[in-house]
Amino acid sequence: MSSRELLAAFFDCLRDFENTTERCLDLFAEDGVFEFPYFAALGMPTRFQGEAELRQVLRMIGARFKAFTISDVEIHEVKDADALFVRYHTDAFIDGGKRIYAQDYVSQLIAEDGKIKILREYLNVIKTARALFPNGLADVPPAAE
C-alpha cells in the first residue's frame, strides 16, 4: 500500500478502534514505529517499536477510546518519498460516553514496502492528559530539571 492508502486504512481502524486493533497492527512494518514526541511531558514513553510495543500502545489507546470520528483532513505528500504529513481532527467518547475527547493532530507517515515504517503524531498533551489519566492534569509528573 502507498502512504495515502495506509493512512486511509489507519483512519478506518480508528473509526472502529475497539474491533480493529489487530488490523491496525498489521498496517505497521515488523520494525515499525508509532511515535508521540510530546508524551515525554506526561512522563510517558514517546516511541513504540516492533509488534509487542505497538500492540501495547494500541491496546492502551483502545482501552480509553472505542471509536474516533475524523474530520478536517488535510494531506500533504512528500516529494520523492512514500511519505506524507496530515493534519486532522478527531472526536471520541471516553468514560462510557460521559465526556468527549476532541483533539487536533499533525502526523507524519512514512511507508516502506507497503507498510507503515514510522507514524509520528503531534498533539495537544494537555487534552491527552485529561483523557488518559484518572485525575487529569493532576497526574502529570513535575518537569525534570
Check pLDDT > 80 for residue 127: yes
Over residues 13-49, the pLDDT tens digits come to: 999 988 888 999 999 999 999 999 999 988 889 999 9
- In this predicted structure, what is the pLDDT of residue 17? 84
Predicted confidence (pLDDT) per residue in 54-101, tens digit = 999 999 888 888 889 999 999 999 987 899 999 999 999 987 777 899
Of 109 and 127, more confident:
109
pTM: 0.90
Q: What are the structural domains, with CATH classification, of the chain?
A: 3-139 (3.10.450.50)
The three state secondary structure string of the chain is CCHHHHHHHHHHHHHCHHHCHHHHHHCEEEEEEEECHHHHHHCCCCEEEHHHHHHHHHHHHHHHCCCCEEEEEEEEECCCCCEEEEEEEEEEEECCCCEEEEEEEEEEEEEECCEEEEEEEEECHHHHHHHHCCCHHHHCCCCCC
